[in-house]
Amino acid sequence: MGLKVAKFGGSSLADASAFERVKKIVLADPSRRYVVPSAPGKRFPGDDKITDLFYLCHAYAQKSLPIEDIVTAIEQRYVEIADQLKLDLDIKAYLLEIKEQIYQERTPDFAASRGEYLNGVILAAHLGYAFIDAAKIIAFNQQGRLDLTATGNLVALELANHHQAVIPGFYGAKPDGTIKTFSRGGSDITGSILARSMQAELYENWTDVSGILMADPRIVDDPRPISLITYSELRELAYNGANVMHEAAIYPVRQAGIPINIRNTNIPENQGTMIISSVDRQPFTGDITGIAGRKDFVIISIEKALMNSELGFVRRLLSILEEHAISFEHLPSGIDTVSLVILESELDGKLDLVLRQIDNNLSPDKVEVFHDIALIATVGQSMAYRSGIAAKLFNALAQLDINVRMIDQGSSEINIIVGIENRDFEKAIRQIYTTYVKS
């Protein structure tokens, strides 16, 4: 039988009853052999995340301010969990040691990692699984970059001795032993690396929603969940603003061809979203897979007669951006036109200078700047195979008199991006959703 790696997010481990639910889920399937916990998350709106409290400890310690009160608040959370689960663990002793280490180590990474570390100790005791410190097997190089090859070897070697284990997420260690964390939300990455290193048949990512939704629920009422999505579609949605999982968590499993299943700890019977590679997804059902978008872009539109025959025009244009360290998102072009789509924040105070240089270096016929632009990506593998899907999108927007300022379709044809005005953003997303999903 193949094995599964199951990662549980902070909201799935926020209190003792959440731990009970996790235990039920893990023990219900013997192939769930390696379990990766996050640190306890918020129990209610306004509650503290343990990781944030640990970062605070570090900041206080750096300024030689007392950290006792924060440590006590952390201790209470863990003691409550361990007591209610009736575990024989001396949480106070653990925290006493951690407190001393925070002063000794003096790095934010060390402090923050303790949230996962302690949650791992508790979860291992609760499940009756071995506890393996991630510092032993998740290897960063001395510059702080993950060393995937060394990690793969260490994981395979260590886990060969443990049929079942809990490995805390979010951190590992450099060759000199110092603790290094991934960026925020990085327990997803630990799970992905373990799944890859152990050649798991599935990477389960347990959270507090039933998978990925077709659109942002703050904009669309009760959007449908996506049951099946390819890695490429997911990348488009995530890049264009959908809040899914840590982006860096996709690569290790995607490369190894391991599917990801996003599941809801509170509704375990729901099958959630399965993320697979595109070759496994045929035939494609439904018109689109999902919609995502972001606001606050600027479009700089440049027109010049015979631009198409002017050698090096776009290169010179892009070198102006490079000179100012401005990255662009899209570059739609016509025969005599090219547009730069750039995040407003990237241009911060540099727009006038950039426009002047475009004028001086490229002698364009006309340059127009449109502010307050929102981009909406409509994503679906089907779009590459079926005709008429794009037409439906433009008709839908025209029906509401929404002015489309830019259109871009990647060469993979799995998405169409439209640039519209910020104020039309929510309206347009609702319209696109209704058009494809309800008609």
- The residues binding ligand ASP (CB under 6 A) are 10, 38-39, 49, 51, 115, 169-170, 184-188
The residue among 152 and 186 lying less far from ligand ASP, judged by its C-beta, is 186
If the CB atoms of residues 266 and 271 are measured against ligand ASP, the closer one turns out to be: 266
Contact yes or no for 223/216 (Cβ under 8 A)? yes
Nearest approach, Cβ of residue 225 and ligand ASP (Å)? 22
Shortest distance (Å) from residue 208 CB to ligand ASP: 12
Residue number, 123 or 429, with CB nearest to ligand ASP: 123
Which H or E run includes 112? helix 108-127
Residue 278 to residues 46, 286, 387: CA-CA distances in angstroms?
40, 15, 19
Q: Is 90 helix (H, G, I), strand (E, B) or coil?
A: coil
CB-nearest residue to ligand ASP: 187
Cβ at position 183, least distance to ligand ASP in Å: 8
Q: How far is the CB of 191 from ligand ASP (least distance, A)?
A: 9
Nearer to ligand ASP, 186 or 223 (CB): 186
CA neighbor of 118 nearest in space, from 63, 169, 155: 169
Report in angstroms how near the CB of residue 120 gets to ligand ASP at its nearest: 12
Residues ≥6 apart with Cβ < 8 Å to 413: 383, 384
Q: Please tell me whether residue 356 adopts helix, strand or coil conformation.
A: helix
Q: In Å, how far from its chain's centre is CA 422?
A: 24
State in angstroms the smallest separation of the CB of 36 from ligand ASP: 9
Task: Name the residue nearer to ligand ASP (CB basis): 190 or 261.
Answer: 190
Q: For residue 27, report the phi and psi dihedrals to the nearest 5 degrees.
A: -75, -15
Minimum CB distance to ligand ASP smaller for 119 or for 261: 119
Shortest Å distance, C-beta 41 to ligand ASP: 7
Tokens representing residue 30 in the block: 């013997």
DSSP string, 288-341: -SEEEEEEEEEEEEEE-TTGGGSTTHHHHHHHHHHHTT---SB--B-SSEEEEE
Q: How far apart (Å, rounded) are the C-alpha atoms in residues 60 and 157?
A: 39
Query: How many residues would you count in the chain?
Result: 439
| Choice between 207 and 382, CB closer to ligand ASP | 207
